[in-house]
Amino acid sequence: MNDPDQTKLTTGCIAAVLPAAGSGQRFGRDRNKLFATLCGKPIWFHAASRLAARPEVGRIVMAISEQDEADFRGPFAELVNELRIELVRGGDQRSDSVRAGLDAVAEDPSIEMIAIHDAARPLVRDADLAAVFAKAAETGAAILAAPITATLKRALGDGNASLTVDRSELYSALTPQVFRVDVLRRAYDRHRGRPATDDAQLVERIGHPVALVHGSADNIKITHPEDLRIAEAILAR
Ligand SMILES: Nc1ccn([C@@H]2O[C@H](COP(=O)(O)OP(=O)(O)OP(=O)(O)O)[C@@H](O)[C@H]2O)c(=O)n1
Ligand SMILES: C[C@](O)(CO)[C@H](O)COP(=O)(O)O
């Protein structure tokens, strides 16, 4: 565990970037899945408010789609203002949305690190946020990750055969993914659109190590409709 005195983070030194511009295809609704209500509030609000509650977070930038802009500046405006969220236009890929958030904060001298957190992950724990922030302050790059607990199989050919994969060194990447500004800036300056499903992959590509911080498995991403029911059950505990 980190020595709490070793990585003292100053108040407001982190900018949170929440990509929220996806189309939610796997969720199967005609509106952004992030608008679905979880215990009375939209999913995106739960995610943003958990970041906003941390003293290290000085700015929150959320990347939204053009088609969702009217919702965020209309019915959701009060919630957006409550958390002092800055809205930027996201893009076709998740990395385009993150880049828009990075561009909005990278020149701010008060910001030392950027925490990228899926707006689709409403249940991230405060203790996990503190731990990944501290590790990123120490190393320049750290992500929450959950050890794999299931037995993993690799499908062979048409799926009628499979092989077991050694899971001992495997983790499921979560968010936030937290980086020193210069590290993330270099990673995105080198990014020319080669597919990447998370930001850590872009940082790996510039040769910067990314530390893994054990994250709670209940930091789920709302992807399919059943994930919303799981999240409701977790909050109801
Ligand atoms: N072009 C994109 C794609 C995704 N995201 C965001 O990245 C997070 C994780 O993406 P995912 O869960 O895959 O959301 P969607 O892309 O909307 O889902 P789907 O793949 O089912 O369409 C979400 O908060 C989503 O809004 C984004 O900001 N911009
Ligand atoms: C960033 C992420 O949540 C880490 O697991 C994941 O890669 C997002 O993938 P998605 O396909 O954009 O949901």
Instruction: State how far the Cα of 203 lies from the Cα of 181, in Å rounded to an integer.
Output: 11
Q: Residue 7: its pLDDT value, please?
A: 59
Pocket test for ligand 2, best of 18, 26, 33, 118 (most atoms within 8 A of CB): 118
Residue-wise burial string across 56-90, b where 16 or more C-beta atoms lie within 10 A, e elsewhere: bbbbbbbbbbeebeebbeeebeebbeebebebbeb
Residue 85's pLDDT is what? 98
Burial class (CB in 10 A: 0-12, 13-18, 19+), 96: middle
Contact 118, 177 (CB under 8 A): no
Distance (angstroms) between ligand 1 centre and the Cα of 97 equals 9
Is the Cα dihedral 78, 81, 85, 86 positive or negative? positive
Ligand 2, atom nearest to 173 Cα: 5
Rounded to two decimals, the pTM is 0.96
Q: Is the CB of 224 under 6 A from ligand 1?
A: no
Distance (angstroms) between ligand 2 centre and the Cα of 63 equals 15
Residues 6+ apart with CB under 8 A from 77: none
Residue 12 is predicted with a pLDDT of: 86
Residue-wise pLDDT tens for the chain (237 aa)? Answer: 444 444 578 888 999 999 999 999 999 999 999 999 999 999 999 999 999 999 999 999 999 999 999 999 999 999 999 999 999 999 999 999 999 999 999 999 999 999 999 999 999 999 999 999 999 999 999 999 999 999 999 999 998 999 999 999 999 999 999 999 999 999 999 999 999 999 999 999 999 999 999 999 999 999 999 999 999 999 998
pLDDT of residue 39: 95
Distances (CA, A) of 93 to 35, 60, 163: 19, 20, 32
Q: Specify the 3-state DSSP secondary structure of 71.
A: helix
Sign (positive/negative) of CA torsion 221, 222, 224, 226?
A: positive
Question: Ligand 2 center to residue 199 CA distance, Å?
Answer: 9
Q: Is 223 in the pocket of ligand 1 (CB under 6 A)?
A: yes
CA-nearest residue for atom 3, ligand 2, is: 174
User: What whole-number distance in Å separates Cα of residue 18 and Cα of residue 173?
Assistant: 16
**In this prediction, does ipTM exceed 0.90?**
yes
